[in-house]
Chain A
């Protein structure tokens, strides 16, 4: 095994030819992106997330994690654990931009890139060997380019299969690279706790603990038939395969960003339909602006509402033609919301999302009788220009002017 930042450099006689799968994971992605703009915070605990009473931690630097701060933790708890932390509100547009830059780096290495989220992806580099070198060298190349071009660090796991590669990247974080060649997979896996395996959650872990199985090695020692009796045929076979390092899943390249959306958790539950309409308008405008910025139009509008008791509903409608116009998104979103007939139910969150994205903002547009030559689209493009010059929100619909902007 080779640990990029600690245990020697890769490519020195290690057999990495048998491990063409890379898992690349940005380190503390949102927080790292924020630190680019505020280098004075480097070395200090920094948390990205909503700062309101109901905000949650989206990302935290390793300095904050040292205090016990974790993703998805309520912000109040995180602040108690780490009162010195700097809390920064998220700026998704920037994260999306950085993510696109990073994914472009990946795609310049191999077409076989399978993004898992904004900040991680699987790569199959077996076809890039002659051009770029061995998998571990490609991993280092990626790390160097990400650092160079995006000023953030990432960790790379190199292994024969997806799940081992993912485990490897998590074992060398932050800013590391770990190669697990085929003949070392068993030695790498077996000391790990069973919870490290993909598909083992809390319940399965408890179940396995009752059987006395705590490490992957314990699991590997049990005949598959026994595991299947204990856990069911599918789960038993799956865990047995993983314990022996067998994961046949291929890297399937997929287009990132098949939907673009925006949602808002209210500081307090809201039941006033007018307030919710205003929020839908704001989210629709934001979603449409992001579509325009990224050069997409979307066909399907979906609306999500989460009630005070956390029940969540989504409703979607396909438009007659794809759009990137906030007013068109809003009118569909509003109709969907009104169609729910909520009778002033108390809402915790609303969201607007555009799906069925296709590139190219200029689409044929069915004109409407009496429609003016320059319509909403032109108005919104003017808003985009103003926002680029004067900052987001410089121009917005009148109904949104008095709404306090969320932090």
Chain B
């Protein structure tokens, strides 16, 4: 195998695929520490696989000789990042790979290609969506995904396909983020749902979105009958195993109506929360006292440091005190797409009820228009 590639394109592609390399490959999995290079009609294909996720990127190359080589992946990634700005020449024989860039030359040992597992094929396409919009939507919902590996279902983002609507949802049981958006299904009546590991989805969507291409979403099965999802855009694609299990029936949790609403500038509120939370130790909550026209934020306790800040708010309901985990509140405020945030409470006249039922954060939209993003947040119950 012998080819010449452009330095930056190659470095980007190597870095991106190398992120999928397993963190600690041991024993039989040693071979997975390798990054596979192979020649195709379109250029050089780079692939990495950790048995859960497979990543592939193709870089245009001037091909002198076809073939494939399995090289130590992390080392290759470090080397390419350090190379000078000059075209890269790569040549591999049965035992070693020689990489030349300007006057720099690296010689790397090879791993046995024949031991490398077959990568899962890209499943069948279900539809397409604009890459940047998809990345933005994914970033809005992953904030609510769980991180507790003992509850794997909650570490996933649920992707639901309902004809021309794509619905993303994630919850860690304390909050729930749902985003609906139009997309272009291959079949108008398409209907499917899949649980995608949230970290993989977020990284993939970001990388594909940054490339500015259209993203193909694919669902199907792998060699061993495992369920897979695939995301492809431009010259990159990722397949991932799905998370198995039953996602909570989240629609049941979304309130049918919002009897009491407040409107506040999201960025201003977020700034104030970031200030007062400086005195909130650990998971100690931030309290919000709403009264007509004003919200007072408080954190801390009498024995410890305390903070207080008052902000104007568009609110005319009863006096109401509600407390939140400040991290969860900030996640929601940063995810709402508009400057003005609509805060919905459960009861118009019972402040107790509003303080212990989910609060909903949404962008403010005109009358009758449907909002695309909803962030449902459970309050913190304060000791009586």
Contact = CB atoms under 8 A, between A and B. Distances in A.
Contacts of B248: 369-370
The B contact surface, by secondary structure, is loop
The A contact surface, by secondary structure, is loop
B375 to A, nearest CB: 12
A335, A362, A367, A373: residue with the most chain B Cβ atoms closer than 10 Å: A367
Contact of A320 (B176, B283, B284, B384): B283
Given A321-B283, A335-B150, A367 B380 contact: yes
B174 A364 contact: no
B16 to A, nearest CB: 34
Contacts of B150: 335, 339
Nearest to A362: B383
B174, B378, B381: residue with the most chain A Cβ atoms closer than 10 Å: B381
Contacts, number: 49
Contacts of A320: 283
A370 B356 CA distance: 11
Interface string B351-371: 000001010000000000000
Nearest to B249: A370
A335 B378 CA distance: 25
Nearest to B355: A367
B247 to A, nearest CB: 13
A364 B381 contact: yes
Interface in A347-363: 360, 362-363
Contacts of B325: 366
Contacts of B381: 364-367
Interface residues on B, range: 20 to 34
B323 interface: yes
A371 B358 CA distance: 10
Interface string A363-402: 1111111110100000000000000000000000000000
Nearest to A331: B150
A360, A366, A368: residue with the most chain B Cβ atoms closer than 10 Å: A366
A348 to B, nearest CB: 27
Contacts of B274: none
B280 to A, nearest CB: 10
30 contacts: A320-B283, A335-B150, A362-B383, A362-B384, A363-B383, A364-B283, A364-B284, A364-B323, A364-B380, A364-B381, A364-B382, A365-B381, A366-B174, A366-B285, A366-B325, A366-B378, A367-B356, A367-B378, A367-B379, A367-B380, A368-B173, A368-B174, A369-B171, A369-B174, A369-B176, A369-B358, A370-B252, A370-B253, A371-B378, A373-B356
Interface of B: 150, 171, 173-176, 248, 252-253, 283-285, 323, 325, 356, 358, 376, 378-384
Given A369-B173, A369-B376, A370-B252, 9 more contacts: A363-B383, A364-B283, A364-B285, A364-B382, A365-B381, A368-B174, A369-B171, A369-B176, A369-B378
